[in-house]
Amino acid sequence: MSLEDAARDVREMAYVPYSNFKVGAALRADTGAVFVGCNVENVAYPEGTCAEAGAIAAMIAGGARQIKELVVIADSPTPVPPCGGCRQKIAEFAAGDVPVTLLSMNGARLDTTVAALLPGAFGADHMERG
């Protein structure tokens, strides 16, 4: 199964009773394994958790630590980029040149990279002392 198909399939599992805005994400780790996530809302946190964060959590729980490719899909007129918090999480587990594909259910597509999504990302090297 392709990452696009995996993201499209898991998107249908999203729990979004407040926004009805389903998002799916699939990533391939350096191990070759594929991990998926969908957004989840609840009454205390109606904006919910993001699909990308769910896929990353699944990757960590599965024992992998490095993203090699990421796909995100939503039903919107144009591809939806990850939120700022998810961009930072993605940058924690992916090199800047890792491909990110953003898709819309209507077929719109944007191919980008982690570095293009979060230029100047905060990283461990910022905490080094000279």
Would you state the CATH architecture of domain 3-127?
Answer: 3-Layer(aba) Sandwich (3.40)
Q: Which sequence positions are flagged as catalytic?
A: 52
**Is 83 assigned a ligand-binding role in the annotation?**
yes
Residue 77 contacts residue 108 (beta carbons within 8 Å): yes
Q: Give CA separation, 74 vs 12, 34, 109, 119, 121, in Å.
A: 10, 19, 11, 23, 24
Helix (H) or strand (E) holding 91: helix 84-93
**Is 86 assigned a ligand-binding role in the annotation?**
yes
**Is 45 assigned a ligand-binding role in the annotation?**
yes
Angle between helices 51-61 and 84-93 (to 10 degrees): 30
Q: pLDDT category, 49, cuts 50, 70, 90?
A: confident
Instruction: Lowest mean pLDDT of 13-22, 105-114, 117-126, name the range.
Output: 117-126
pLDDT in tens, 54-67: 999 999 999 999 99
pLDDT of residue 11: 97
pLDDT in tens, 73-96: 999 999 999 998 899 999 999 999
Q: Across all residues in the chain, what is the average pLDDT?
A: 92
Q: Where do the domains of the chain lie?
A: 3-127
